[in-house]
Amino acid sequence: MLGLLWRLHRDRRLPDGVLFLTYVIVYGVGRFLLTYYRLEKIWFWALQEAQVIALVAVVCAIPTLLWLLWANRSIPPETAGRAIQRTTA
C-alpha cells in the first residue's frame, strides 16, 4: 500500500484528494479481506462490523474518486480556447 501511495504522491498531475481516496479504497479492501480471519460477532448480512464499514467506505470512495478525476480532467490545448470563447460569446 505504501508503494502505491508513494508512487501516486510523486505524480504531481493528480488533483487534490486522489491520494486520500486511493488510501480509503485500498485500506477498505484490505480490511474487508483481513477480517475473514478474525473471529468476531456477525453483524449484518453475514458480515462483521469492520467488513460493513470497509464496504461502505469503498462504495463511497470509488464514485467520489471517479467524479474527482472526471471533474479535473485536462482540456486539450487546441480546444481550450474554443471552450472559453463559447462561454463568453
Q: pLDDT tens, 37-85?
A: 877 778 777 888 888 888 999 999 999 988 888 887 765 555 544 545 5
Domain layout of the chain by residue ranges: 12-88
In contact, 25 and 54? CB cutoff 8 Å: no
Contact call for residues 21 and 66 (beta carbons, < 8 A): no
C-alpha cell at 8: 501516486
**Which of the two residues, 53 and 7, has the higher pLDDT score?**
53
Q: Where are the beta strands (DSSP E) in the chain?
A: 42-44, 47-48
Block residue for cell numbers 460477532: 41
- Give the dihedral sign, CA 37/51/60/17: negative
pTM: 0.61
